[in-house]
Amino acid sequence: MITKNSIHTVNINSINSSGFGVCRIEGIVCFVQGGVTGDTIEIKIIKSKKNYNIGRIEKIITPSPKRKENDCPVFKKCGGCVYRHVKYEEEALFKENVVRDAFERIGHIENVNLKNIISAENTLRYRNKAQYPVKNENGRIRAGFFAARTHEIISCDDCLLQPEIFSSIVKEVCLFAEENNISVYDEKTNKGFLRHIYLRIAEMTGEIMLTLVATKNSLKNQEKFVEVLTGKFPEIKSIILNVNREKTNVILGDECINLFGRGYITDILCDTKIKISPLSFYQVNRIQAEKLYEKAREYMGDTKGKTVMDLYCGTGTIGLCTAKDAEKLIGVEIIEQAVEDAKVNAEINSRNNTEFICGDAEKAAVILKEKNVKPDVIIVDPPRKGLTPKLIETIDSFGAEKVVYVSCDPATLARDCEIFASYGFKIQEATPVDLFPRTAHVECITLLVR
């Protein structure tokens, strides 16, 4: 019998897409956080359901050779990493399998031409962006990360995915808040001032952007704040106050107030200058993003003299980095600040054959179709929820030969590829790219041809 609190000795035989070890007890699947394929472990059942169980490791009897030592004090508590206890080569293979599995089980696509995952050389401190929620811990202001699936803040002094300088800046901001009696936001009561400390670094120029997300449009002792922070960290080129008054778990509000600098930073990606504003999306792993875009260039093929459509284009990065000699580049993006960045990015890279449209991709595509725009290649890079059937229908109606689908969620990618298949598209090739080492996430780029 499998009951709550019962103890079992199990062999872990796979890892699921959330990074949990998977085993079977009496034929019923059981998920074990921290379990690795090849482990023999003793577990205690902490949740028992009809179709599945969740177990907690009590004792590792025989560790899997795929294991390594965990190197983070808040691993398992924090909702960020799920693979700090697994050798990276194995993690990359697990992720490749997650993608293959999604194509097979969700997309019902057999024998997909899936290439080896493009893994990362650097698995430490690769991120260029962090958003730290803050809390008051016995009178001290501490920053950290949300625990998995909850809104509990796990305080963390130095995250191993972030540049070290972020930890120093965060510490300084917390100290300033304490000394100046700046209150922290409480989600439950919707009271308090400071919600998040949001940092971004443009690695190639070294420029840092510091954004405070707060519930009001003015910061106490603002001038002193700017003086202290820029004095200690000359890398900080922009300080912004982002106002979010809503009772919501969306981090950023719409309003940005410039406290210092130009309000943006500039990075270089695939030899292309990229202006990044606080509300604009920018790939968090620059080195891996370059490899992803290189693959996009390969999948798009020769774009000389062609019309390229980049849906969900953010600041225009994919199109600007790849389709350099295209006849025309049309980008669509819903965030206004990102569209403004995209236009500037076209200009500073001397690209005068571009058009960036602010709007919902599904609606904008219909309008472009009505205007009789004829793209040769369409790139899509949606958020995790993927495309809509309606947008896929419109994409099909353009008659383009190639669709390059960049996805950060294998499940929705596979779902959408099945719909593309119903319109006569075939997956020519797909390549997983690890943009997010140590976390459960994996990117995949897919070439669909008619």
Active site residues: 408
The distance of closest approach from Cβ of residue 116 to ligand SAH in the complex, given in angstroms and rounded to an integer, is 22
Q: According to CB under 6 A, which residues from 279 to 308 bind ligand SAH?
A: 281, 283
Pick the closest to residue 216 from 255, 180, 248 (CA basis): 255
The distance of closest approach from Cβ of residue 204 to ligand SAH in the complex, given in angstroms and rounded to an integer, is 15
Pick the closest to residue 406 from 428, 423, 383 (CA basis): 383
62, 155, 440 from 37: Cα distances, Å: 11, 30, 15
The distance of closest approach from Cβ of residue 443 to ligand SAH in the complex, given in angstroms and rounded to an integer, is 10
Give the strand pairing for 207-214 and 194-202: antiparallel
Stretch that binds ligand SAH, among 145-153, 312-320, 410-418, 441-449 (CB under 6 A): 312-320
Q: According to CB under 6 A, which residues from 351 to 370 bind ligand SAH?
A: 360-361
Give the strand pairing for 28-32 and 21-25: antiparallel
Cβ-defined contacts of 349-356 (< 8 Å, 24+): 349/272, 349/273, 349/320, 351/320, 351/324, 353/326, 353/327, 353/328, 353/329, 354/316, 354/319, 354/320, 354/328, 354/329, 354/330, 355/328, 355/329, 355/330, 355/331, 356/313, 356/316, 356/330, 356/331, 356/332
Both tokens assigned to 381: 């890079």
- Residues across the chain: 450
**Shorter beta-carbon distance to ligand SAH: residue 59 or 390:** 390
286, 392, 444 from 431: Cα distances, Å: 18, 21, 6
Residue window 320-349: x/- pattern of binding to ligand SAH, with contact defined by CB under 6 A: ------------xxxx--x-----------
Residue 314 as a binder of ligand SAH (CB under 6 A): the answer is: yes
**Shorter beta-carbon distance to ligand SAH: residue 230 or 283:** 283
The distance of closest approach from Cβ of residue 277 to ligand SAH in the complex, given in angstroms and rounded to an integer, is 11
Q: Which residue is nearest to ligand SAH (CB)?
A: 314
**Shorter beta-carbon distance to ligand SAH: residue 177 or 201:** 201
From first CA to last CA, the distance across the chain in angstroms is: 53
Query: Pick from 317, 337, 407, 439: which binds ligand SAH (CB under 6 A)?
Result: 317
The distance of closest approach from Cβ of residue 178 to ligand SAH in the complex, given in angstroms and rounded to an integer, is 34
Q: According to CB under 6 A, which residues from 262 to 281 bind ligand SAH?
A: 281
Number of residues that bind ligand SAH (CB under 6 A): 16
Interface ranges with ligand SAH (CB under 6 A): 281, 283, 312-314, 317-318, 332-335, 338, 360-361, 381, 383
